[in-house]
A and B are shown apart, each in its own frame.
Chain A
Amino acid sequence: MSARDNDWDGVRLHVVTGKGGTGKTTVAGALALALASHGGNVLLMEVEGRQGIAQLFDSPPLPYGERKIAVGLASGPRPGGDVYALAADPEEALLEYLAMFYNLRHAGQALTKLGVVDFVTTLAPGLRDVLLIGKAAEAARRRKRQRHVYDAVVMDAPPTGRIGRFLNVATEISGLARVGPIRGHADTVQSVVRSPQTAVHFVTVLEEMPVQETLDGIAELHDQAHGGLQVGGIMINMMRPEVLSEAELAAARDGTLDSDELAMGLKAAGLDDSRPLAVDLAADLAEHACAVELQRSERRRLAAAGQPRYDLPLIPDGMDLAGLYRLAAELRRQGAA
């Protein structure tokens, strides 16, 4: 991939965050499918123990281990690469870390029983985060026969409110461990996260609080303390199509819609009872116009952040695999992958 064919060429670790309820996991899944459309394999990873990926892909709960979960979006006649999924678990990540660096795997059970694993992974959140991000960084850099195993790693990360702290592992750890092995590990992980190989994408919907949290999150990442973190795109999820003209929107907002015209139209469409129906629909339209107005002002606020934006449509009858591929195609078409 020498030609720059998407906005995030060169990024190997895509961190996807968003306020709860904005569809963060869904967008992370769609992004993984889209990234795999270039033919390479992609790892989709979750870190919060929610088994959100399994639910999204309608598969049984995932074990701690990388397994194929879907085929990436096709690119014309060319099939996509494979998408692998991993439900990262801090306990397993710790035991793996111990095995990898200290040859201590056999001690795992005893440690679990004594509460050490609980201690390290639950009570000291900085440690837990280092282990989880460390796992993602390792997968992003893993090579087999001189080639990267994964073209990209997509992480379904903690929500926007916690993302700065989550990614700022080295600083978090330094409060606890100024020197020592875990500190060294944290510094290595941090250097991957702060390199141009990592981008943090924000998922939002066009409502006030999610947009505010997105802007706050971006500002936090831009902030000195977290310097070097690359802010990625803003994925605007669940966009409703705009069905009214500007004049109609204005009229609906002011309550001056021509309800006679509406009633006549309904009648022409063969609907009975067109008059009361027109009254109800006009009230819905007024509400819709108000929502559109708000969405536009939220959109302007997001535009001010200066990051690339991608629009993803609402799938009104519920998210399924078909909908997920549709979102993936949108991301690809708009240059996010």
Chain B
Amino acid sequence: MDAGRTDRYRRLDTDRLADDPRTRIIVCCGSGGVGKTTVAAAVGLRAAERGRRVVVLTVDPARRLAQSMGLTSLDNTPRPVEGVDTAAGGSLHAMMLDMKRTFDEIVEAHSDPDRATQILANPFYQSLSSSFAGTQEYMAMEKLGQLRRAEEWDLIVVDTPPSRSALDFLDAPQRLGRFLDGRLIRVLTAPAKVGGRAYLKVLNTGFSLVTGVLTKVLGAQVLRDVQTFVTALDTMFGGFRERADYTYRLLQTPGTAFLVIAAPEPDALREASYFVERLSRDRMPLAGLIVNRVHRARAGRLSAARSLAAAETLQNGNGGRSADEDGDDGPPTGYPERYPLAEAALRLHAERMQLRTRERRLAEVFIAAHPSVPMVEIPARPEDVHDLAGLRAIGESLAGEDPATQSAAQAHG
């Protein structure tokens, strides 16, 4: 068995990280469906109950954090979370990003009321602010910057948007900044500046090509909307990119820590690898990897093969329950046999050990490629987390306080 080999990894100590007053921002990232939101909430709750003033920012449009924190609604302002143990002097707030409202606020802050009204009513703006794939990421970064500047919290825990790739969180804000600030926009604004249709005469081939295609694909009306929007936004040029750059730099400061979250699945761990490599290339402070929802078997000393062999011994020798040729158990058919319970327990154990072995093998691939990255595992739970007690239990697992984890670790050690 490979049971002992993954023990060579450095254990990620999230308590030490979150307790450290120098840690001001924790970014939880990873691909979709790995439990980012829950882990972010659990880290935030634990830090709050250990004495820090924490705000958790979630960007997920599903009301998952709300559910797991027992809240019915979250909006663009941080709300106190009820039921948190504040004995250590900490507190917990939570908020869900409203990306359109955040975008609207930037527009309103940077232009006079008339112009703001004009921009907000523009069809192209409405499409951009509510559905552009990168807007969510940009606005998450913007909100993070705002929260950081407010200096009201010791620690901000951010849950990144559910994009297909964890890297989108880093790239999308700059992409939007680049677009709003870029060459295409300048080309498009040129005609409006010289006024009306006069542009037909002044332009270079690039422009006519661009407008030609956009008109063909989108129609003239869309092009007009884009041009009106861009012209109205003229005063804010540079601002978008600057803001994106500001938050990007904020992420590179030592007060920030990235937690990469993955499920013990090939896709999720592959994404985690990309992300870890990218963070190191961009000199972003990586704290470590959290492998979430790891399966375990308490009796790790009994291998899958031995367990299955033992189950078969019972089945053949003692007239256990019937099984089809694949070894798959159907529903129990005959009673009473002598040891059906033991046989079932052994088959279940074998299946868990197989799963465990596979998950460990996947984790080993990651460790082999990134030996210096600290790691911690959170065991899978039979039920979903939707209250503070569940979040607390996850926090305890992270800290290695979960009794079941300890016995499993001993069994493997």
Count chain B CB atoms within 10 A of each CB in A262, A270, A281, A282 and give the residue with the most.
A281
Query: In this assembly, does A71 line the interface, its C-beta being within 8 Å of a C-beta of chain B?
Result: no
Separation of A268 and B343 alpha carbons in the complex (Å): 10
Q: Mark B255-296, 1 if CB is under 8 A from A, else 0.
A: 000000001011110000000000000000000000000000
Q: Is the CB of A98 within 8 A of B298?
A: no
The minimal Cβ–Cβ distance linking A110 to chain B, given in whole angstroms, is 6
Q: A284 in the interface, Cβ–Cβ < 8 Å? A: yes
User: Which of B119-127, B147-155, B364-372 is the contact stretch?
Assistant: B119-127
The size of the chain B interface, using a CB distance under 8 A, is: 85
Binds A, one of B8-16, B110-118, B212-220: B212-220
Residue A63 interfacial (CB < 8 Å): no
Q: Is the CB of B302 within 8 A of A271?
A: yes
A125-B132, A269-B310, A317-B354 known; A116-B213 Cβ under 8 A: yes
Choose among B184, B187, B335, B358 the residue that contacts A317 (Cβ–Cβ < 8 A): B358
A159 CA to B60 CA in the complex, in Å? 13
Cα A291 to Cα B384 in complex, Å, equals: 10
Question: What chain A residues lie within 8 Å of B235 (beta carbons)?
Answer: none
**Are A20 and B220 closer than 8 Å at their CB atoms?**
no
Determine the distance from Cα of A271 to Cα of B162 in the docked complex, in whole angstroms: 47
12 contacts between A and B (CB under 8 A): A19-B32, A20-B162, A116-B184, A125-B131, A178-B221, A180-B221, A208-B383, A244-B332, A280-B299, A281-B346, A285-B344, A294-B383
Contacts of A317 in B (CB 8 A): 354-355, 357-358
**Count the A-B residue pairs with Cβ separation under 8 angstroms: how many?**
229
Count residues on chain A whose CB falls below 8 Å from chain B CBs. 81
Contact between B184 and A114 (Cβ–Cβ < 8 Å)? Answer: yes
| A265 contact set on B, CB distance < 8 A | 314, 338-339, 341-343, 345
Q: Is the CB of A176 within 8 A of B342?
A: no
Contacting pair A107 B221 (CB below 8 A): no
By beta carbon, the residue of chain B nearest A159 is B32
Contact in complex: B346, A21 (CB < 8 Å): no
A interface vs B, CB < 8 Å?
19-22, 48-50, 52, 55, 94, 97-98, 102, 104, 107, 110-111, 114-116, 118-120, 122-127, 158-159, 161, 165, 172, 175-183, 207-209, 213, 240-245, 248, 257-258, 261-262, 264-266, 268-271, 277, 280-285, 287-288, 290-291, 294, 313, 316-318
State how many angstroms separate the Cβ of A247 from the closest Cβ of chain B. Answer: 9
Secondary structure of the A contact surface, majority rule: helix
- B217 contact from A120, A271, A288, Cβ within 8 A: A120
* Main secondary structure on B side of the interface with A: helix
- Smallest beta-carbon distance A16→chain B, Å: 15
The listed residue with most A CB atoms (<10 A of its CB), out of B162, B348, B411, is: B348
Q: Assess the B338–A98 pair: CB atoms within 8 A.
A: no
Q: Which residues on A sit within 8 Å (CB–CB) of B194?
A: none
Which B residues are closer than 8 A to A by beta carbons?
31-34, 61-62, 64, 123-124, 126-128, 131-134, 162, 164-165, 175-176, 179, 182-184, 187, 206, 209-210, 213-214, 216-222, 225, 263, 265-268, 297-299, 302, 306, 310-311, 313-314, 317-318, 328-329, 331-332, 335, 338-349, 351-352, 354-355, 357-358, 382-384, 386, 404, 407, 411
Partner of A48 from the list B164, B183, B332 (CB cut-off 8 Å) is: B164
Task: Choose among B127, B216, B354 the residue that contacts A126 (Cβ–Cβ < 8 A).
Answer: B127
CA–CA, A323 and B355, complex, Å: 15
Q: A21-B32, A209-B384, A241-B329 are in contact. Are A98 and B342 (CB under 8 A)?
A: no
- Give the CA-CA distance A106 to B189 in the complex, in Å: 25
Q: How far is the CA of A230 from the CA of B383 in the complex (A)?
A: 32
Contact A21 B33 (CB under 8 A): yes
Chain B residues, CB < 8 A from A294: 382-383
Q: Report the bound CA distance from A207 to B127 in whole Å.
A: 34
**Are the C-beta atoms of A176 and B384 separated by less than 8 Å?**
no
Q: Name the B residues within 8 Å of A316 (CB-CB).
A: 351, 354-355, 358
